[in-house]
Amino acid sequence: MARAVKSQRKVLNTGLAWTIGLVIFFPILWTILTSFKTEAEAIASPPIFLNFSWTLENYAVVQERSDYMRFLINSVIIAGGSTVLGVIVAVPAAWSMAFVPSARTKDILLWMLSTKMLPAVGVLYPIYLLFIRLGILDSRVGLVIVVMLINLPIIVWMLYTYFREIPGEILEAARMDGAGLREEILYVLTPMAVPGIASTLLLNFILAWNEAFWTLNLTAAKAAPLTAFIASYSSPEGLFYAKLSAASTMAIAPILILGWFSQKQLVRGLTFGAVK
């Protein structure tokens, strides 16, 4: 009897998980399907789900009108650069909080996290003026720095959580063997926290890839990433849903592929240390 109840519960949980997953994925699926419709079919009422004339015209128009590869390269550089720079800064910070006892550690972590609660528009004007003064407005360097700073609290929090699961005795043994601070972090701590660091890299790369507010306000043309590529299809002349959907599909395709192939590593990293 207990086995039957357990089996029913498993089926119910599986069905619920699939339902939630499909609900979350449906907007992406609808965007992809709309990208293959004509403009008339894209705004048809009632909406057409599958019974429409499939066409690649929207992708051809988008590719002809915009230099997709330039936007893609900018996105890769900005997201990748900000993620790597953030981890370089966050690893020593998380190490010091995890292994150097301090009564203020939790307060510092909460203060860092509280910076994410500040509306971005509240600091847009001073950052915009600062970028003009430094000459990094509409530059990849400027966007790498600002996106890294935005996501840095999350990176530090995640790495701190992973580092706390590593026994401090291992690091003490490394010090007794003559390891300095650099060797301790690079050759002892980092290899043991590879799953956590990898999941942190993946998650923050996705966050940086999807960052829209700062990339739209601090770029014009030269450093514009895929978020600006999508926004360019919302014009005063009208909103062309099919072409906008094609541009959106082209923008999210790389990150969807990355997420699909790295999902096991991401789950492994997010559950790192959860089971002892």
Q: What is the mean pLDDT of residues 187-196?
A: 83
Give 106 or 135, the one with higher predicted confidence.
135
pTM: predicted TM-score of the whole model, two decimal places: 0.85
3-state secondary structure of 33: helix
Using alpha carbons only, what angle is made at residue 82 by residues 191 and 140, rounded to the nearest 5 degrees?
150
Average pLDDT, the chain: 85
Give 134 or 193, the one with higher predicted confidence.
134
Q: What is the pLDDT of residue 109?
A: 84
Instruction: Sketch the domain layout of the chain as residue ranges.
Output: 66-232
Indicate the pairing of strand 234-235 with strand 238-239.
antiparallel
CATH topology of domain 66-232: MetI-like fold (1.10.3720)
* C-beta separation of 166 from 193 below 8 A: yes
Given pLDDT bands bounded at 50, 70 and 90, which one contains residue 194?
confident
Given pLDDT bands bounded at 50, 70 and 90, which one contains residue 238?
low
Q: What is the pLDDT of residue 5?
A: 58
What tokens appear for 123 in the block? 């600091």
Q: Find, among 187, 210, 157, 193, the residue nearest to 268 by Cα.
A: 193
Q: Find, among 189, 230, 198, 199, the residue nearest to 212 by Cα.
A: 230
Q: Is the pLDDT of residue 274 over 80?
A: no
Q: What is the mean pLDDT of residues 179-198?
A: 82
Given pLDDT bands bounded at 50, 70 and 90, which one contains residue 78?
very high
Q: Which of 128-132, 188-192, 235-239, 266-270 bottoms out in mean pLDDT, i.e. has the lowest?
A: 235-239
